[in-house]
Structure 1
């Protein structure tokens, strides 16, 4: 198409079948943005004939804080109690690139120190990616991903109920909340395209179609990561106290804070990235850092609002 040429309204920006997009999102903005996204296109090539399966499938990522905070068992139990069973499980290590791509459409309003903290924390250990089958899902029901996103509960602690996943896990702040879930089926599809190469996506598809039970495999992977990872209380006050005894740069920051100086997220990040940083200080630093971050940059709007349970219930 040359400069100044008007696009034919019948031309399409991607090759994803319209019926698949209609089945996996209730957001026209997401359908347009994600539709032209290579990750979604690749996943659609794998799952184009499986819209019904996708609606009964969701993803839950157990993040590094779930390992050090010993929340794996509680998370798996809570998912099972609510009818979500692993059909497949993978160890996934985030990088700077996968963090930015996973949250590409949400990081536009994230504060700069929050993004830096995400790099430090999400890249520290493997995540556990659970591909979950919703055993309670029936044709015409809201999708599994939408049900689990609602079950996860709000980010604001005061609005949570005891049955919410974040409440059961004891979410501590905006980053230390132990799990990440997909909002609706289009997010399941895009994340599978982003995180998995074609052979691994094909195995996920085969396991979903065969109704494979990966519960024991999930438990073994979680046990292995916990055996490799020292536990941590993730308590910011105790962490700050421990850091005052550190001989590394984090110790200088913590001692200044104890003496009355203002300790900023930027100070903590500099200590974490200092050439002389002690790796043993990492989770104490992260505990203090995540408790003091400004989460969002004021005045910046979301690219699109979250698609909530009501959008799917109204259709039904």
Structure 2
């Protein structure tokens, strides 16, 4: 498939993005129309629109702050490599309120207020490492790399996961401490790269994708740096309560009230977490408590603003996630 460069003439009234690009990166017409006027997707098309056939072999996996604290960085890289995904680039960045809302822009309409506030507390705690991955099992016409990796991630419901799923193999703690964010399909790979990368950084991603760059050495160096900066955490709820109970001052107050038979509220612990510096030894214990106090992840009865189209990519008779 040959696609035009991004300076091609406008093709419809609201966007200049060629409909063939949109059709190549998502099977959802609704999503294609939304993304066509999304500024991040537009910028991604300026950078990658003429190499969409190559980008279909690229997936994006963000290793979140809890992956550093829980020492899941190297296990995640090992599992990805075993499944045929090789890093051609790694983007290290720190989430803030705006990047959180932009990465999850089309999913946050279903998120509860408490879930969003918890993510605001967790995600800026350390840097995130976004791995740009080449699927070595991909070939033209095969299932896009992003869709295969998204299927490999496994369902959110632990009861539906199998031993082959990334979430199972990493030992996901709960709905918020799940260690990774994986882009759903090629449209999301493009858009999310534009959220976290400015134009020069996107150009570097492009060059590395085309060159088949081996980013493994720099990925390992980044892991070493992050683990040197941030102590390991066990995500053990009862151990976190015990450590907090012994902590002096405000961080220990909810645990001491709990020991007296009171039940601290999520809002109270969230407020305390926000007031605790990210480098405090009590920060991850507070975050662990937050993730267990949160009971309502989504707003009942509300559906995402874009559909989950993973199943739409499945060739008839072929399971999503199967190797090409």
Q: TM-score, normalised by structure 1?
A: 0.93
Correspondence for 1:265: 266
User: What are the within-5 Å matches in structure 2 for residues 288-307 of structure 1?
Assistant: 288-293=289-294, 294-307=296-309
Q: State how far apart, in whole Å, the 1-side matches of 2:312 and 2:53 are.
A: 18
| Other-structure match for 2:241 | 240
Unpaired stretches in structure 1, ≥5 consecutive residues: 1-9
RMSD, aligned CA = 1.7
Question: How big is the shift at 1:305?
Answer: 2.4
Mapping of residues 159-178 of structure 1, within 5 Å = 159-178=160-179
1:87 corresponds to: 88
Alignment partners' CA distance in 2, 1:311 and 1:233: 38
Q: Which residue of structure 1 aligns with residue 55 of structure 2?
A: 54
CA-CA distance at 1:15 after TM superposition: 1.0
Could you list the per-position Cα deviations for residues 25-67 of structure 1 after superposition, in whole angstroms to 9, with x for gaps in the alignment? 0111111111100111011011111111111001000000000
Contact in 1 for aligned 2:277/2:283 (Cα 8 Å): no
2:125–2:278 contact (8 Å) kept in structure 1 = no
Say whether the 8 Å CA contact 2:103–2:192 is kept in structure 1.
Answer: yes
The alpha-carbon deviation at position 251 of structure 1 amounts to 1.1
Determine the C-alpha separation between the residues in 1 that align with 2:276 and 2:134.
Answer: 45
What is the aligned partner in structure 2 of residue 6 from structure 1? none
Instruction: Spell out, residue by residue over 1:49-97, the C-alpha distance to the aligned partner (whole angstroms, 9 max, x if none).
Output: 1111111001000000000100011100000000000000121110100
Say whether 1:287 aligns with 2:288. Answer: yes
1:27 and 1:210 mapped to 2: Cα distance? 30
Cross-structure match for 1:115: 116
| Residue-pair matches, total | 306
Change (3 A) 1:170 1:276: closer
1:278 and 1:35 map into 2 onto residues whose CA distance is 40
Residue of structure 1 equivalent to 2:8 = none
Q: Quote how far apart the aligned CAs of 1:280 are.
A: 2.0
| 1:201-216 correspondence runs (5 A) | 201-216=202-217
Which deviates more, 130-139 or 104-113?
A: 104-113
Which TM-score applies when normalising by structure 2? 0.91
Residue 279 of structure 1 aligns to a residue in which SS?
coil
**Using the alignment, how far apart are the partners of 1:95 and 1:104 within structure 2?**
14
Q: Secondary structure at the match of 1:280?
A: coil
**Alpha-carbon distance in structure 2 between the residues aligned to 1:279 and 1:95:** 18
- Residue 218 and residue 278 in structure 1: after superposition, are their counterparts in 2 closer, same or farther (change >3 A)? closer
The DSSP-based 3-state class of the residue aligned with 2:86 is strand
Q: What does 1:16-55 align with in structure 2 at a 5 Å threshold?
A: 16-55=17-56
